[in-house]
Structure 1
Amino acid sequence: MFFAPKEIKEATGESLIYCQRRVMVSKEFTFDAAHHLFNYEGKCKALHGHTYRLQIAVSGFLDERGMVYDFGDLKAIYKTELEPKLDHRYLNESLPYMNTTAENMVYWIYQTFAQALPNERGLQIEHVRLYETPSSYAEFRREWEHG
């Protein structure tokens, strides 16, 4: 038989935090969008669309609940900062001026998400991976920011 704890053991000094090290959490999203590429000779020169798959990973130290960052909070940043410019949009018009390659887009997503992430418990964005097709993606990592 299993007995769920009924209270937090604050009086004994015990903590809900088991891991004292940095931990990474990641959330995945999908969106549909259209774009075309400039200065490119191939099929993608013409207007076309994709169902993109986006993975965003952040790391930090655990809070009093034993969590790095709530998955719902990751989703909230996506919903407010990214989705309005990405989902069911013509990316050449909704994003800043760029050639809307997966490589350019993944860096813009990285920067946008990083700016919205709270500055607490060492939270930092680790990487963003943007799949343009099920087998093709571009990725940007934190360690590449200054290199």
Structure 2
Amino acid sequence: MYGFKIVDHLQKIDEDIKRDQLKYHAKRVLVSKEFTFDAAHHLHCYEGKCKNLHGHTYRVIFGLSGYTDERGLIIDFGDIKNIWKEKIEIYLDHRYLNETLPLMNTTAENMVVWIYEKMAEALLEEQSLEGARVEFVRLYETPTSFAEARREWMEVE
């Protein structure tokens, strides 16, 4: 059986590891964070169930890349959560999307681009995140259906 073991020695900064050892590499790395929100919407110029007012539990996955700072971090996961809560989720969670988003048909394809743009804008505003960028946003409308916006598509067109 496996036994529970307490560490023999808790590593201490400036004694066991030096500050200049915290950053292991100088490569670009991608971090990802996922969120969910519940919202109602309906589609215009569409024949099918979604023309009627209905709701979804959406799932959003962000892929953000950048270079690590002196601590070995690109961005703290808590900072991604704060951006989500303060700048994006307020327009989405428990909202009627046709009312809170810019004028658009509230398709997953339109919404994922708007979410991408909001996150990209927020990263640009954070001066401590130099080089951080959105690589992709994936928006699940159902557990098996999603739309995705990728940096290479967003910046070319």
Equivalent residue for 1:121?
A: 130
- Using the TM superposition, give the Cα deviation of residue 12 of structure 1 relative to its aligned residue in structure 2, in angstroms: 6.4
Point out the structure with the larger helix share: 2
Q: Which residue of 1 is the match for residue 34 of structure 2? A: 28
Gap runs ≥5 in structure 1: none
Which amino acid in 2 is paired with 1:138?
A: A
Residue 79 of structure 2 is matched in structure 1 by: 73
State the Cα RMSD in Å: 1.8
Deviations 1:63-104 (A, max 9, x none): 111111000000000000111100000000000000000000
Contact map agreement 2:20 2:70 (CA 8 A) in 1: no
CA distance in 2, matches of 1:75, 1:98: 26
SS at match of 1:64: coil
Count of matched residue positions in the alignment of Structure 1 and Structure 2:
147
Residue in structure 1 matching 2:115, options 106, 109, 114: 109
Between the aligned partners of 2:68 and 2:14, the Cα distance in structure 1 is: 16
State the structure with more CA Rg: 2
Distance 1:132 1:80, change over 3 A: same
Unmatched 5+ residue regions in structure 2? 1-6
Deviation readout 1:48-70 (Å, 9 max, x if unpaired): 00000000111101111111100
Q: SS of the residue aligned with 2:135?
A: strand
User: 1:12-91 alignment to 2 at 5 Å?
Assistant: 14-91=20-97
Counterpart of 1:135 in structure 2: which amino acid? T
SS of the residue corresponding to residue 102 of structure 2 reads coil
For residue 7 of structure 1, report the CA deviation from its aligned partner.
Answer: 1.9
Bigger mean CA deviation after superposition, 69-78 or 115-124 = 115-124
Structure 1 residue ranges, 4+ long, deviating more than 3 angstroms after superposition: 11-14
| Aligned positions of 1:1-16 closer than 5 A | 2-8=8-14, 14-16=20-22
CA deviations over 1:8-28 (Å, ceiling 9, x no partner): 36x967420112100110110
Residues in 2 aligned to 1:89 and 1:129: alpha-carbon distance in whole angstroms:
20
| TM-score, scaled relative to structure 2 | 0.88
For the residues of structure 2 that align with 1:13 and 1:84, how far apart are their CA atoms? 38
- 2:3 equivalent in structure 1: none
